[in-house]
A and B are shown apart, each in its own frame.
Chain A
Amino acid sequence: MTALRGHAWTFGRDVDTDLIIPARYLNMKTAEELAAHVMEDADPGFAGKVRPGDIIVAKENFGCGSSREHAPIAIKGAGVSVVIAKSFARIFYRNAFNTGLPILVAPEAVDGINEGDELTVDLASGEIADLTTGVTYQAQPLPPFMQELVAAGGLLPYLKTRAAAS
């Protein structure tokens, strides 16, 4: 797998789903529409600044709040290649896998990375390299079941394969 590469955008703890995609936009559902408003109430200029490949780096409990899958869809739609956090809220964690937005839990990396740092991330190994500071970090490995889900191509292909096998 080729490494992901982009610049870091840093956020604090408890970034909730209303910050990621405010409910006033939930009458829409396409990635293009939603991406135009991603992180709007946390940083009104974010959608205009973020570049394809960029990486969101956040503290604890990223994605807390609502079950709206619009949140990972908006982030992915804006071109963000991966979200690195100290921890993720439960529903967001499931939704990210289900919509194909890569996410990594890496507390040391979150503490070490500064806004704007250039990063590369190898999803297969979980290695995060901060090219600006020269420091590398190791993300927590994916639980085996989540690796199976990813290998199957997501939840729905996984369920179909499983149904066909039984």
Chain B
Amino acid sequence: MAMTITEKILARAAGQESVAPGDLIMAKLDFCFGNDVTAPVAIDEFERAGFDRVFDPDKIVVIPDHFTPNKDIKSAGLVRQMREFSKQHGLTHWYDVGRVGVEHAFFPEQGLVGPGDVVLGADSHTCTYGALGAFATGVGSTDLAGAMAMGEAWFRVPESHRFAFEGALGPYVTGKDIALFTIGQIGVDGALYKAMEFTGSAIRGLSMDSRFTICNMAIEAGGKSGIIAPDDITKAYVEGRFRREPRHYTSDPDAWYEKTYSWKAEDVPLMVAKPHLPSNTQPADELISIKIDQVVIGSCTNGRIEDLRQAADILRGRKVHKDVRCIVIPATQAIWRQANDEGLFDVFLDAEAAVSAPTCGPCLGGHMGVLAKGERAVSTTNRNFVGRMGDPGSEVYLAGPYVAAASAVAGYIATPDQIGAPTPAEGRRRS
């Protein structure tokens, strides 16, 4: 029976020859985790249900990243509970400040998730790991509690929707623009409960960092998962990094898709999502004279090294506008060091941007850049809901690093062209 990559992974995890959309399965999990928002609730549920041991201490991580370094006394208490749980159950991996990073950048970087895995995370952006050719989906704390105890979870096998991008992307156009373009086309529930499979020559030409960005935002279209079939770029990324044996699956040519969308890559412009939904998109160059107070470059969506290089390409030799605060947040310690080694921090500091320790921080209005009433930010993060970055009367415009950095310089939403940046070098163009 012909299957999609998603169906093949789920069939393997359910111990079945095949599965079909709509089937209910119990799947064995390769990895599960929660963060400082979701794990404490999961630990409470785990203990309340009377579980006394975890299924496999190698395959569970509770990771503090949302309010890290702890923003207040209550968040410090949450992380203390996680630290104690991790010790009590002998979890193999514990990462704290100085070693930790934003989970969806950190776990792939550390080789804890990889191709063919079934990953269950108590965080909605768990779908990020689909970029590795894994089935990865977000759940809540009780599901995580069950997963930590049993090592399995129930799933309804999702219908797959295929998003094919063919051809070459324009200058400065990245994975973030593909993600926002897709969500703008289909809406925030356009792929509700579905597996979003990204295919086509434009996707195959993307770096891993851009692929992570695309799969990261599948949830913003309601998707259960996002996925990109592994290829040589995936294999090169995973080589020497992934701690288990990768399992490379691809969709059969005659696999069934509930829907297929086909777009030309050249038709994807530099995108911005206006308040207050990620689907409220418009080409960046159509937005004129929208003054901003803050720019955030970071997060599980765009806090990787390529994103920082893109921001630095724009900020090099320029200054952040005098009325703008620009905050750069490398997503992990390794990315921080890499950016430092490449001299990117000199660029940011010369431009008068601030550089933070890895954290989710301002993305969810936690700390490190919360907005006041009436303030407006351009952010490389993933959500622009009411109050997402602070006061319910503040506004977030979502964009990729190029537009975010150009906007920081201009003081209003701007494209690199609009601030006079040259067309990027060929080597950066395809990323």
Contacts and interface: CB of A to CB of B under 8 A. Distances in A.
Interface of A: 14, 16, 18-19, 22-24, 26-29, 40-42, 60-61, 64-70, 72-73, 87, 89-91, 94-95, 98-99, 145, 154-157, 159-160, 162-163
A46 to B, nearest CB: 13
Contact of A14 (B71, B188, B392): B188
B167 to A, nearest CB: 31
B310 interface: no
Contacts of A41: 386-387, 392
B365 A24 contact: yes
Interface stretch (B144-152, B228-236, B405-413, B416-424): B144-152
B166 interface: no
B74 to A, nearest CB: 4
Interface stretch (B34-42, B200-208, B332-340): B34-42
B45 A18 contact: no
Instruction: Classify chain B's interface size.
Output: 35 or more
Interface stretch (B135-143, B267-275, B285-293, B347-355): B135-143
B365 A27 contact: no
Nearest to A40: B392
B56 to A, nearest CB: 15
11 contacts: A16-B385, A26-B366, A27-B78, A41-B386, A64-B189, A65-B383, A66-B124, A67-B121, A155-B143, A157-B49, A159-B150
Contact of B139 (A27, A91, A99): A91
Contacts, number: 135
B28 interface: no
B52 to A, nearest CB: 12
Contacts of A64: 188-189, 222
Interface in B166-201: 188-189, 192-193
B212 interface: no
Given A89-B189, A90-B192, A98 B143 contact: yes
Given A26-B37, A27-B67, A67-B122, A99 B392 contact: no
A95 B222 CA distance: 15
A156 B45 contact: yes
A4 B364 CA distance: 35
B75 interface: yes
B8 interface: no
Nearest to B191: A90
A18 B51 CA distance: 31
The CB with the most chain A CB atoms within 10 A, among B45, B66, B124, is that of B124
B388 interface: yes
Given A14-B189, A68-B140, A159 B146 contact: yes
B44 A29 contact: yes
B72 interface: yes
B192 to A, nearest CB: 7
A42 B276 CA distance: 12
Given A155-B146, A156-B49, A156-B146, A87 B38 contact: no
A68 B66 CA distance: 12
Contact of A69 (B74, B142, B383): B142
Contacts of B366: 23-24, 26
Nearest to B37: A26
A163 B152 CA distance: 11
B154 interface: yes
Contacts of B67: 26-27
A65 B146 CA distance: 22
Contacts of B145: 156
B224 interface: yes
B277 interface: yes
B277 A18 contact: no
A98 B142 contact: yes
B123 interface: yes
Contacts of B150: 159, 163
